[in-house]
Amino acid sequence: MRKLSTLLVPGLVAMTLAAGPALTSAYAAGSDEPSPPKSDSSTKKGKKKSSSVSDPKFLAAYRTAYTTIYDSHDYAGAIGQLKSLKRDDVADVANLIGYSYRKLGDYQSSKVYYELALKDDPNHVRTWQYYGLWQLEQGNREQAQYHLNKIASLAGSDSSEYRSLAAALDKPTGATLVY
């Protein structure tokens, strides 16, 4: 039995890794692994923050929050989990906090975190997508179109982020957005 598990586990891991991009693209959120911050805000006065994005504990906690959002739809719980990472200077973290606040209907807090994400990474496609959806929910169709154009310039019109926001823009004003 032990020999069988020794053979099966590496195979299952390889299959999971190979299927990873296909599985994560089902969520418009992107990856369950954050990219490193683009800005140099991880160091303050020569001291490094304790939660580096490559730290296994940080990654595990980030993935837990990601699952809390997209599998459990527990946005308030995820906000607490993400804030406890003390890394809202990382675009992926700030974007997920913004997304969670938006799903809870707290548009002002959501906007703050989307802007933090874009401050870290002005080319963060998922933030442009989610902020574009935020714009639509606020009735700002022209701003949402600006976000769509930004996504097109960064990732192309075949990207899932572009298609998602374009589909939302195709709906008439006041229509319920499902995404």
Helix (H) or strand (E) holding 78: helix 75-84
**Which class in CATH covers the domain with range 51-122?**
mainly alpha
Report the C-alpha gap between 105 and 118 in whole angstroms. Answer: 20
Buried b / exposed e along 46-80 (16+ C-beta atoms within 10 A): eeebebbbeeeebbebbeebbebbbeeeebeebbe
Q: Which pTM value belongs to this model? A: 0.74
pLDDT digit string, tens, across residues 42-61:
444 434 444 578 889 999 99
The pLDDT value recorded for residue 4 is 41
Q: What percent of the chain shows pLDDT beyond 90?
A: 64
Q: Where are the chain's structural domains?
A: 51-122, 123-179
The pLDDT value recorded for residue 42 is 42
